[in-house]
Chains A and B, each alone.
Chain A
Amino acid sequence: MFGRMNRRYDVVVVGGGPAGLAAALGALDSGVSRVLVVEREPEPGGILRQCIHAGFGLHHFREELTGPEYAERFVTQAMDRDIDVAPHSYVTGLAVDSSGHRLVRVLSSRGGLATVECRSVVLAMGCRERTRGAVRIPGTRPAGIFTAGLAQKLLNLDGYLPGRRAVILGSGDIGLIMARRLTLEGCKVEGVFELMPYSNGLTRNVVQCLDDYGIPLHLSTTVTRIHGRDRIEAVTVAPVDEAGRPDAARAWDVPCDTLLLSIGLIPENELSESLGIALDVVTGGPKVDSTLATSLPGVFACGNVLHVHDLVDFVTEEALRAGRFAGEHARQIRRPRDAIALVPGANVRYCLPHTLSADRPHTVYMRAKTRMSPCILRVGNLLERKLRFVVPAEMIHLTIQPELLERFYEDRLQIDLLPVDGGGAP
């Protein structure tokens, strides 16, 4: 029920975005009945509430939905299946009592600082955006510099334009989508600037969001200086060399009153860190086994808090699984310990989960380090698959069947992305 929070649950989910909602549903699927989702916003739905563009659900629902539509389907299911959702509530900490129960500390104006007891916890806190500090753009510190997500929230939830003349740094999907969105609302987008020699967003977004509206995309170019005293007045942009160093001699100034930063997302793991959960330095999220359990017993993770996803459908898939395993854990069902370490090899930035067991199929998610086309995806000596096209921005997923692992006696399985003659890594 929306707004209800009892003292005791089987599973408590931290965060009510698509990951949290699916995890809650997954937990019910596993046979537990008391599930709570804690959400700090006024309503569940997570970041999807502000992603009003279409492009969600093609894998999971086989139709193209907008973010709010995708979210609503899960919210409705959660309500129908009597999951408790506590809005305006923030999880500040977690403790374990002597009988092994997890104590979740929830802060809200209605319930004060409450302690909720449960057997399993699913972390689904999502991610936050990288800021100006992270890319160290020199210059003044005027008003008018927004992360793309904040601008998106202002525009799509609150109804305010961030400005009238914008420059966008970063050509990931969020940057591209915001370029179109601002243009439609009458804000002039002077250009999208991208450090890399290729766009980090989906090709379809480059076509639909920039090309259609005549917005220039400047590849291998970055913002090197911010100007303006009270409000931003201009940025200096400069082409970069292979090592990413700006060439000051070819720099130029772009007048603008707004700079949007779409320069990457970071899993939001302050809570996990404070609990001493082991994190992966590459993903920024927890290390998890094949049940999506973190290093802290009974605590699971999924969605953007685990690793930054580009498609919500995979978030849902991962979260349903995490929820199911969390529910099993609450019911004291134990799975065999994983015996195989899954490690990233050539051209693989990371792969998840960190360990596998031989008894069931596994969905493995990974990201490439560079753009390659075509290439071979190789899993130890068990499996080879030809991929037409890989880019770092698009997650690769793969199912490993138990038959393959049954006769695998080593303790380490490496995943490589190998160039094919004629194609390959640049």
Chain B
Amino acid sequence: MYDVAIIGGGVVGCAIARELSRYHLRTVLLERFAEVGFGTTKTNSGIIHAGQQTTPGTLKGLLEVRGNAMFDQLQRELGFGFRRCGELVVASTAEEMASLERMKADGEAKGVPGLEMWGAQRLRREEPNLSLHLVGALFAPSAGVINPYEFAFALAECAVQNGVELRVEHEVQSIALRDGGGFRIHAKIPSGPGAVPSGPGAVPSGPGAVPSGPGAVQAVPDAASATCVDVEARFIINAAGVHADKVAAMVGADDFTIRPRRGEEYLLDRRLEGIVTRLIFPVPTPASKGILIIPTFDGTLMVGPTAHDQDDRFNVPTTTEGSEEVFATVRRLCPSLDARATIAEFAGLRAVSDTGDFIIGPSRVPGFFHVAGIQSPGLTASPAIAVHVVELVGRAGLPLVEHDGFNPHVAPPARFATQPHEVRQALVEADPRFGRLVCRCELVTEAEVHQAVDHGARTLDGVKFRTRAGMGRCQGGFCTTRVMQILSRRLGVPFHEVTKRGAGSWLVIPMAEDREAAMTEAGATTGDPAAGATEEAPCSDA
């Protein structure tokens, strides 16, 4: 039996897992998708908010400011992409300037450091491409941008290295109370072709790893191509994001509901790099939904997000209306942005709870903890949430005994593209795989793809979000087959069983299968091969 099972491998679940891995505990992290962070964590604005914009007095506001302050150390330990670029909330009227003054006072009360009011002149000098109609701004230097998926990957890797067991492609379907305390969690795992190797050993375990699967009971064949396993744990932490109410309902602890709120984001071509250098926010008004300009960590610009409620918790489409709304809004802030520069678009779901605030703490079922309603600024708050939750679970009886072997560090990936000539040369000399190019747009080499696999990538998207292969202008036109080949070799599965992001997201069908079918067909009829397959008739006689 595990001491703790965390349900949901988003940034919140991963941060909690790492926090728990500081202690002598047996912890399992259960994630539905093939990789961690493939829920909302992968599809957001990637901002580490300063905190001056959130309503004072909320849990959200408290954990946001606390979380922000933790990122410098986390970045040093985990090596994910993070830069404090600062943010500007820009005003176009005198009334808006007045509300910025109020925001500044609120922020200072919450402990947001370094807030400054800028007049039109300062604003123009610092960000010359913004609209000439703007009259001033509130500058918050502590805001930053992050590659959120890298953060989640690194948190999970660090947790695993310190003994947490990660089980991907484990979809929790039901939870039963065990006689004598604790829970039995029933999870669906895929099997058959297309199943990504997962479970114990899926991510290479570090020095502190515990022997695999103490709590895994048995695997039983289930419907279609799926199998189920049971996992037992004394405590459950429900970090299932937009599904947190459904998971809570499995134990009858559903005292809240989650309403998904979709946000669409549009990523722009690299040639717009440097048009703005800080995060640009409009003054939040009831009418404006807060559509921003984001200079991402990787140097591309992103604009968004929209905010629209939807019922579907799985399909997260972008829409024509969304795109129009985004570009109409940001062009008022920065006229040279243009929808035609879009190279990719995506949408994510905010897990909006009916309280409007984060719901963190024990539920009415003893041992079952909620970490729910973690909408924006959940990414910013996540490390603070983790500390807070572990404290609460500790108070509820989980013994927290630190183990000295805790290693807070994971090695950051070696990025060939960002290195100067000499370093590149040294890299290729040390490992010739740095000399083999995989993604031409982002200059990603074979060595980096291998590293990504070493660090847990199991899918095309997993490699993409770890290495940037496929994120550039050609969006995978060049690198897809190369990455698939490496994955196939490394995972020991046939090429056609490599998926985009786990079961169901298959990519290709082998033609060899077709040939075998044709052979049997032809053999079954006559000796003359040509006579066998005429009914396939691809040619119309029209």
By CB atoms of chain A within 10 A, which of B267, B428, B510, B512 has the most? Answer: B428
- Is A90 an interface residue when CB atoms closer than 8 A count as contact? yes
**Complex contact B323–A138 (CB within 8 A):** yes
Q: Specify which of A110, A131, A142, A163 is in contact with B509 (CB 8 Å cutoff).
A: A163
Chain A contacts for B267, CB-based, 8 A: 133
Contact: B508 with A147, CB < 8 Å? no
Whether A109 pairs with B428 at a CB distance below 8 angstroms is: yes
1/0 contact trace for B292-321 toward A, CB 8 Å? 000000000000000000000011111110
Task: Convert B496-513 into 0s and 1s, putting 1 for each residue whose CB lies closer than 8 angstroms to a CB of A.
Answer: 100111111111111110
State how many angstroms separate the Cβ of A95 from the closest Cβ of chain B.
10
B538 in contact with A150 (CB, 8 Å): no
* Cβ-closest chain B residue relative to A225: B317
* Also in contact, A143 and B507, with CB within 8 A (given A133-B342, A133-B475): yes
Which residue in B323, B433, B500, B504 is a CB contact (below 8 Å) of A136?
Answer: B323
Within B406-434, the residues touching A (CB, 8 Å) are 421, 424-425, 428-429, 432-434
Given contacts A110-B435, A131-B475, A140-B316, contact A154 B508 (CB under 8 A): yes
- Report the nearest B residue to A113, measured CB to CB: B425
Q: Are B433 and A109 in contact (CB under 8 A)?
A: yes
The listed residue (A224, A231, A270) touching B504 by CB distance below 8 A is A231
> Does B522 lie at the interface of the complex (its beta carbon under 8 Å from any beta carbon of A)?
no
- Comparing B91-99, B148-156, B437-445, the segment that makes contact with chain A is B437-445
Check: B539 CB closer than 8 A to any chain A CB: yes
**B473 interface residue (CB < 8 Å to A):** yes
Tell me the bound Cα distance from A149 to B473 in angstroms: 15
B536 close to A (CB within 8 Å): yes
Contacts A143-B507, A212-B540, A230-B505 given; does A92 touch B343 at CB 8 Å: no
Is B346 located at the chain interface by the 8 A CB criterion? yes
Chain A nearest Cβ from B375, distance in angstroms:
21
Interface bracket on A:
35 or more
- Residues of A83-116 at the interface with B, using a CB-CB cut-off of 8 Å, are 88, 90, 92, 105, 107-113
In contact, B477 and A131 (Cβ under 8 angstroms): yes
For window 173-194 of A, CB contacts with B under 8 Å fall at 183-186
Once the chains bind, are A149 and B538 in contact (CB under 8 Å)? no
B500 touches A143 (CB 8 A): yes
In contact, B343 and A110 (Cβ under 8 angstroms): no
Type the 1/0 row for A127-147, where 1 means its CB is closer than 8 Å to any CB of B.
Answer: 011011110101111111001
Count B-side interface residues using an 8 Å CB cutoff.
Answer: 62
Q: Check: A349 CB closer than 8 A to any chain B CB.
A: no
Name which residue of chain A comes closest to B447, CB basis: A109
> Is there contact, CB below 8 Å, between B473 and A212?
no
B290 within 8 A of A: no
Nearest-CB residue, chain B, relative to A154: B508
A133 with B477: in contact, given A164-B509, A213-B540 (CB under 8 Å)? no
User: Is the CB of A40 closer than 8 A to any CB of chain B?
Assistant: yes
A160 within 8 A of B: yes
On whether A133 and B344 interact (CB within 8 A), knowing A128-B474, A138-B323, the answer reads yes
Contact with B502, one of A139, A161, A230, A273 (Cβ below 8 angstroms): A230
**Interface assignment of B481: CB less than 8 Å from any CB of chain A:** yes
Question: A158–B481 Cα gap in the complex (Å)?
Answer: 9
In the bound complex, CA of A153 to CA of B479 (Å):
12
User: Is A229 interfacial (CB 8 A cutoff)?
Assistant: yes
Cβ of A298 under 8 Å from chain B: no
Residue of A whose beta carbon sits closest to that of B509? A161
Residue A159 lies at the interface, judged by CB distance under 8 Å to chain B: yes
Q: How many A-B residue pairs have CB under 8 A?
A: 150
A113 and B539 within 8 A (CB): no
In the complex, whether A214 has a CB less than 8 A from a CB of chain B is: yes
Contact yes or no, A150 B480, CB < 8 A? yes
B490 to chain A, nearest CB (A): 17
Chain B hits for A143, CB < 8 A: 499-501, 505-507
- Distance in angstroms between the alpha carbons of A110 and B435 in the assembled complex: 7
Q: In the assembly, what is the distance between CA of A154 and CA of B482, in Å? A: 11
Inside 8 A of B496's CB, which chain A residues have their CB? 160
- Complex interface: chain A residues within 8 A of B346 (CB): 141
B425 in contact with A112 (CB, 8 Å)? yes
Interface: A211 (CB within 8 A): yes
B476 within 8 A of A: yes
* A155-B509 Cα distance, complex, nearest whole Å: 10
Q: Is B387 an interface residue (CB 8 A)?
A: no
- Distance, CA A270 to CA B314, complexed state (A): 37
Hey, which chain B residues are within 8 Å of A163, CB to CB?
Answer: 508-509
Q: Does B13 contact A (CB under 8 A)?
A: no
User: In whole angstroms, what is the CA distance A213 to B537 when docked?
Assistant: 9
Contact B540 A108 (CB under 8 A): no
Q: Which residues of A contact B475 (CB under 8 A)?
A: 131-133
User: Separation in Å of the B449 CB from the closest CB of chain A?
Assistant: 13
Interface core residue of A111, A131, A214, A273 (most chain B CB under 10 Å): A131
Contact A153–B481 (Cβ < 8 Å): yes
* Minimum C-beta distance from B521 to chain A (A): 12
Let me know if A162 is at the binding interface, CB within 8 A: yes
Cα-based distance from A150 to B477 in the complex (angstroms): 6
Q: Select the residue from B434, B507, B510 with max chain A CB neighbours within 10 A.
A: B507
Does B511 lie within 8 Å of A109, measured CB to CB?
no
> In the complex, what's the smallest C-beta–C-beta distance from A213 to chain B, in angstroms?
6
Query: Using Cβ atoms and an 8 Å threshold, which residues of chain A touch B322?
Result: 138
The docked-state distance in angstroms from the alpha carbon of A212 to that of B539 is 6
Partner of A230, one of B271, B446, B495, B504: B504
Given contacts A161-B508, A211-B542, contact A128 B437 (CB under 8 A): no
User: Residue A226 at the B interface, CB < 8 A?
Assistant: yes
| Residue contacts A-B, CB under 8 angstroms, 25 given | A40-B437, A90-B440, A92-B443, A105-B421, A107-B428, A107-B437, A112-B425, A112-B432, A113-B421, A131-B344, A132-B475, A133-B475, A136-B339, A143-B499, A143-B500, A150-B481, A160-B510, A186-B536, A213-B538, A213-B540, A214-B542, A227-B315, A228-B315, A229-B315, A273-B271
Instruction: List the 10 closest pairs (A to B, CB-CB), nearest first.
Output: A230-B504, A214-B540, A109-B435, A143-B500, A160-B508, A143-B505, A230-B505, A131-B475, A109-B432, A133-B343
4 further interface pairs, Cβ-Cβ under 8 Å (given A113-B428, A133-B344, A214-B542): A107-B435, A133-B475, A160-B511, A163-B508
Seen from chain B, the residues whose Cβ lies within 8 Å of a Cβ on chain A are: 267, 271, 314-320, 322-323, 339, 342-346, 421, 424-425, 428-429, 432-437, 440-441, 443, 446, 473-478, 480-481, 495-496, 499-512, 514, 536, 538-540, 542
